[in-house]
A and B are shown apart, each in its own frame.
Chain A
Amino acid sequence: MKRVLFASSAILALTLSACTDNSETTSDGASTGDSGAIAVSATDDACDLSATETGSGTLTFNVTNDGSQVTEFYLLGEDQLRIIGEVENIGPGLSRDLVMQAPAGDYFTACKPGMVGDGIQAAFTVTDSGAEMAASGDSAELVAQADEQYGAYIRDQTEQLLADTEEFTALYVAGDDDAAREFYPEARLHWERIETVAESFGDLDPSMDLREADLEPGQEWTGWHAIEKDLWPPEDGDYETLDQAGRQALADKLNSDTQELYDRTRDMTFTADQIGNGAKGLLDEVATGKVTGEEEIWSHTDLWDFQANVDGARVAWQGLSPILETKNPELDAEVAERFDELQALLDQHRDGEGFVLYTELSTEEVKELSDAVNALSEPLSQVTAAVLQ
């Protein structure tokens, strides 16, 4: 059977309708006025483009370094100064795509072999293709707001973490084990909300949050999970609970590490991609550790951590949301919807102030949670690039 090809407008209409959910960031570039990739050959003394004019919308430059030095490629504004888009650190022989949005106007392209000087510049024209453009504009102020907001959140959470850790370790050292067990997941909420920031300190994370399964041979086990095992000792096996001195040592170490974390986070600042990737990172933590029940293997309080990771991710996304609303409102709306769906699912497992234990979840319930994490993580993983566009 042969079918006549329908007019391309019909295909385009389908393409567009099929893309409403994910907008241009996940779909075929053809849907947003893409005029085809422009090949750029960057050598030590030339910057050859396959075209010097293209339609407005999503522009794709496929930059190949045909020279012998590390190079960069820029799309500059009419003033030859303002950077509209850039790809850096392209090694000899390598190719990299620059994908970006650009409205109609006069531009300059530049290859910068050796990454020095003004580079090899040439005029470049973007004509009006009629493609709808995301609102442009300087988002520096919005990024500064996001940084301020996220920095304040981190400071607040570390402050609460410090207080709660001291309270928790005091109960543990005093031998008030029931109270310590009850408080354990609540105190950890503050840790899990800022987990990706805490993990950025490569020395603190292993000493504070290492799981037994992750220990290297000869490594001393300290931190939350060492105390967790001591409070929920395995019934059979050869684990011996710690004596008073052992408890005191773990408590002191956790308190001093937390103080160190507190001190280091007082003046932290965050770039948009750090915030965006932090949000994605927190959901990755959920997917790999919490939804599998591996994080809290003795206490089974994984759902508290789950909730806290989601809290932290939501705050990070909310900080970027004003930027995302201008750049890609569909993506922003999708992330919002998926956060709500995941939260609704989590709320089903609340028990009093906290949650049911991981071991009380059925396989189907775990699968549901995992599906909801996947559903949120996919669009969330696109936020950083969308914000940086």
Chain B
Amino acid sequence: MFGALGVGAAGVGVGVASGYAVGQSDDDGSVGAGSGAEQYDFYGQHQAGITTPAQDRMHFAAFDVTTSDRDALIELLQEWTQAAAAMTAGESVGGPLPYEAPPADTGEAIGLPASGLTLTFGFGPSLFVDESGEDRFGLAERQPAVLNRLPHFPADALQENRSDGDLCIQACADDPQVAVHAIRNLSRIAFGRASLRWSQLGFGRTSSTSTAQSTPRNLFGFKDGTANIKSEETDVVKESVWVAAGDDPDAEWMVDGSYLVARRISMSIETWDRTSLAEQELITGRDRQEGAPLSGGTEFTEPDFAAKGGDGEFLMATNSHVRLAHPSQNDGVQMLRRGYNFTDGSNELGRLDAGLFFLAFVRDPDVQYIPMQTRMSAQDGLMEYLQHTGSALFAVPPGAAQDEWVGQGLFA
């Protein structure tokens, strides 16, 4: 267990001064699974929910904008901002209404603390230009050059009703009821302007985004995200996560924002479970118990990709997941991963409908995600047990100041 740094301290280090802990961090050293007292400001330079220590639960939602009225879209973002600021502070949406009226807030979070809720909003490429090339809201000129529908990767089995979207909201919290409450109320506010396209629940984090957090395991049973960017690595965060001035002259509104890659990755749980431990570790590239690279050491030892065994084969196999995902094999690029384990019940064959809802934040998806995924989809030994069933890319604008609404810069 790591010492309790307190989420506030971690946040300040990377310029997320908006994130602060109310009350004290947990005494047992675990971060995120505590009393629910964690609370992050909605307003700030960057949106919360990116370098924020990954919460335990997630409800992610993508929306289709149904109005063609630019003002109605702006009003929606304004109302979402208001509601998000209230909910992330542990308060209800709206005020009391007459007894004869349906309540403004749906009520299931009454009495629950903020539970570290963060709400992170994003814009999909289809918000800017529709399929026929039409400029939907006069925003086409401001579409970032790198905000495009993700390409087809080898072995993709994408489902339309789990992919893409004009808008997205990532709701993360340490209490699933709080995360679901947020998406439910924001969806309700959107009626008549945007409708839910798809949504995904995640029951457990598969990444740590702070050195104060222990590395969680994915449903293959392996530690995931050991080499993830941590919020404490301020230089790496700045270099790899946040869009900087000058990155895209046509999309200066994205400065201090980031790009969010979402991939629903289904796992063939049953076949994996009957795979030998030797095979499991070989294609992962780490030992299961400790998470150490097979070239030796402990969890956080850098893998030695040149090391060979007595048989002359690389200890870190050439098709191993860790080797293919490692920055040294990808021109040094990194991304901030923030994924969640999911189970959507079981399918008609009685198999678990489970996997990993991959979320990553990058400064430039063309450099930091697409080349790596192209290679991994073709070469990663794990692909035998994986199927990508959903895909989306969103531009996550910077945080809103107290008197602003989220995404305001895009419409300025």
Question: Which residues of A come within 8 Å of B, CB atoms?
Answer: 1-3, 5-6, 10-11, 14-15, 17-22, 25-30, 34, 37, 60, 62, 87, 96-100, 273, 334, 338, 367, 371, 374-379, 381-382, 384-386, 388-389
Contacts and interface: CB of A to CB of B under 8 A. Distances in A.
Contacts of A5: 402
Given A26-B97, A28-B95, A388-B100, 18 more contacts: A2-B17, A6-B402, A10-B403, A15-B82, A18-B75, A18-B78, A20-B75, A27-B104, A29-B96, A30-B95, A37-B96, A60-B95, A97-B97, A99-B97, A273-B100, A371-B191, A375-B193, A389-B98
Contacts of B45: 1
Contacts, number: 107
A29 B102 contact: no
B401 interface: yes
Nearest to A367: B195
A25 B97 contact: yes
A26 B402 contact: no
Nearest to B15: A1
A21 B72 contact: yes
Contacts of B3: none
B101 interface: yes
A289 to B, nearest CB: 19
Interface string B186-209: 001001110100000000000000
A96 B188 contact: no
A10 B96 CA distance: 23
Contacts of B18: 1
B304 to A, nearest CB: 40
B17 A378 contact: no
A121 B102 CA distance: 30
Given A10-B403, A30-B95, A34-B95, A378 B191 contact: yes
Contacts of B15: 1
Interface in B76-108: 78-79, 81-82, 94-102, 104
A326 B17 CA distance: 47
Contacts of A381: 101-102
A310 B32 CA distance: 48
B96 A99 contact: yes
Nearest to A85: B98
Interface of B: 15, 17-18, 43-45, 66, 72, 75, 78-79, 81-82, 94-102, 104, 188, 191-193, 195, 401-405
A333 B282 CA distance: 65
Contacts of B99: 87, 96-99, 385
A375 B98 contact: no
Most chain-B CB neighbours within 10 Å: which of A22, A26, A34? Answer: A26
A6 B403 contact: yes
A18 B408 CA distance: 13
Nearest to B101: A385
A99 B102 contact: no
Contacts of A384: 100-101
A31 B312 CA distance: 73
A278 to B, nearest CB: 14
11 contacts: A17-B75, A21-B72, A21-B79, A27-B95, A27-B104, A60-B95, A62-B96, A97-B99, A376-B192, A378-B192, A388-B100
Contacts of A17: 75, 78
Contact of A18 (B43, B97, B402, B405): B405
A132 to B, nearest CB: 17
A375 B94 contact: no
Contacts of A34: 95
A379 B188 CA distance: 11
B100 A385 contact: yes
A214 B104 CA distance: 32
Nearest to A363: B161
A180 B25 CA distance: 72
A375 B96 contact: no
Given A1-B15, A37-B96, A371 B195 contact: yes
Contacts of B100: 273, 384-385, 388
Contact of B191 (A20, A100, A374): A374
Contact of B188 (A1, A10, A378, A382): A378
A18 B82 contact: yes
B66 to A, nearest CB: 6
A30 B104 CA distance: 14
Contacts of B402: 3, 5-6, 11
Nearest to A384: B100
Contacts of B401: 3, 6
B403 A14 contact: yes
Contact of A375 (B66, B78, B81, B95): B66
Nearest to B72: A21
Contacts of A99: 95-99
Most chain-A CB neighbours within 10 Å: which of B43, B45, B79, B96? Answer: B96
Contacts of A378: 188, 191-192
Contacts of A385: 97-101
Contacts of A60: 95-96
Given A2-B17, A374-B191, A375-B66, A14 B78 contact: yes
Contacts of A29: 94-96
A21 B17 CA distance: 33
Most chain-A CB neighbours within 10 Å: which of B17, B104, B191? Answer: B191
B104 A26 contact: yes
